[in-house]
Structure 1
Amino acid sequence: MSAPIVPVYMDPEELAVLVQDPAKVPKKDYLVIDVRTTDYVGGHIPGGINLPASQFYGFLEYINANFATVPLIVVHCALSQVRGPKSARILTEYFQTRARTTTGTAPALPQVKILRGGITDWVAKYKDVPGMIEDFDAELWESELMY
């Protein structure tokens, strides 16, 4: 029996360096997967995609077909305490299983990380930094519904 996969976290500052680097291309050099559902409204990380955790298993083939060559995949939810880590574990296990069942030389596996603090910490740190949040709605974040 293999050891359980332990999630690896990435600090928001590390992801911010990638997002702000004009030489880095989202969906090519890195991919941000936001697994929130109805709480997705109000803002998200630029260049990210929304694949809700409640349907995440159904997105695995899509991710593999479109983003398997992306070297870094960062997964998050609101706080990255439940949905984000679970989705990151599922994705990591999926890639590892595919690599074991692939004949010949398998390509390098994407590194999957979880954004520490989720979008909540991201917004707290970068809400006033231009270009760091797409579709930002300050009123939603100021309401009690977002916390």
Structure 2
Amino acid sequence: MATETPAAPPPWHAAYPAPRNPTPASMTREEVLAMMKQSQAGRDFVLVDLRRNDHEGGTIRGSINLPAQSLYPMISTLYTLFKAAGVKKIVWYCSSSKGRGNRAAGWFADYIEVKGDTEMTSFALAEGVKGWAKAGGEFVEWMDEYDEKHWV
């Protein structure tokens, strides 16, 4: 008697609509680092680390951790908070920014568009935190809780 393999559950994001643009705007790590260096007098951007179970090895300094699985229902609240704080750029990242990072940047860009906001922009960090950490040098100096063993 053959047994059937149970179907894999759908991915967490299947419960939500796909972003209208599957390849949203992105920023390079060099661009983000330059913003960080220039922001000593004040920040008009937010870095959002979307990792949950894979949140290890360190994070980019000053990032907030908001696991992607909890993001979609929070978009309107986040927008309101970011707007009140004068945030102009939101940079989303996960490990590689190929899945969660792009999805979050796309969802948030969709919401910004619906609101008719021409001052705020949503970006995915190209190559994610993995690309940041593996770039070494000055990039890892701008990480909190950096653990080299994780990135080898």
TM-score by length of 1: 0.78
Cα distance per residue 1:42-99 (max 9 Å; x no partner):
2111111111111111221331122123111111110011110011111111122233
Letter in 2 for 1:98: K
CA gap 1:77/1:29 in 2 versus in 1, 3 angstroms = same
How far apart are the structure 1 equivalents of 2:130 and 2:139? 15
- 1:40 equivalent in alignment to 2:55: yes
Aligned partner of 2:45 in structure 1 is 30
Unaligned 5+ segments in structure 2 are: 1-19
Q: 2:151 matched to 1:133?
A: no
Structure 2 residue 19 is the aligned partner of structure 1 residue 9: no
Segments of 4+ moved more than 6 angstroms: none
**1:8 & 1:124 partners in 2: Cα distance?**
22
Judged with a 3 Å threshold, the aligned counterparts in structure 2 of structure 1 residues 117 and 16 are, in CA distance, closer, same or farther, namely same
3-state secondary structure, aligned to 1:40: coil
Match of 2:128 in 1: 118
Q: Which residue of 2 is the match for residue 145 of structure 1? A: none
Q: What is aligned with 1:102?
A: none
Give how far 1:130 is off: 6.2
What value does the CA root-mean-square deviation take over the aligned residues? 2.0
Matching residue's letter, 2:26: Y
Match of 2:110 among 86, 93, 97: 93
**Count of residue pairs brought into register by the alignment:** 130
State the one-letter code of the partner of 1:85. N
Identity of counterpart residues, as a percentage?
A: 25
Q: Which has the larger radius of gyration?
A: 2
Q: Deviations over 1:109-136 (max 9, x none)?
A: 4111111100001001145656410111
User: Partner of 1:74: helix, strand, or coil?
Assistant: strand
The 1-side partners of 2:115 and 2:61 are apart by 29
Task: State TM-score, norm by structure 2.
Answer: 0.75
* Structure 1 residues not aligned, in runs of 5+: 100-106, 143-147
Separation in structure 2 between the aligned mates of residue 125 and residue 24 of structure 1, nearest angstrom = 26
